[in-house]
Amino acid sequence: MQATIIADSLVLTLYGFVGQVADHNYSMVGKQLMDAMWKEIALRRLAHKGINHWVYESEDRLFVGVELDKIPDRTDLICKEIVIPQYAYWKHVGDYSTLGAAYEAIYTDLRSKGVQHVYPHLEIYGHWTDDTSQLETELIISIT
């Protein structure tokens, strides 16, 4: 697996929640944050682009957010601007349970090229499908 190296900056403005992850249980914490985020979006009737972004940060922090169509007047969501000067990109197609293997393959590829990965890393989830072999997740890994 070879990731595509992108030298252009990626800038995203996301609204969501952040949490501390214990025992590397990212999926549990991410789901809790996502549920709270979508509850707030529904409560405030915020227009959004509908795509979940999971931002993996240093020290086991996870931010889960979504792009909104406009800046809200009132919300409990945290606004976070993500700026990544350069990154490795891979579109993963398959069940979420295979993401770990995809990351390992990408890290191996980056090491072979002498490229170091740093935080943050992003997972941008495509729309849900019942056929989990067709789930699309964009992996964005900050590099130096």
pLDDT at 6: 97
pLDDT at 2: 84
Distances in Å between the alpha carbon of 50 and those of 3, 15, 128? 25, 12, 11
Token code pair at residue 108? 């191996």
pLDDT in tens, 101-134: 999 999 999 999 999 999 999 999 999 999 999 9
Q: For residue 65, which amino acid is it?
A: G
Whole domain around residue 38: which residue ranges?
4-143
Residue 119: which CATH number? 3.20.80.10
Do 92 and 137 touch, CB atoms closer than 8 A? yes
pLDDT at 114: 96
- How many independent structural domains does the chain possess? 1
Ranges under pLDDT 50 in the chain: none
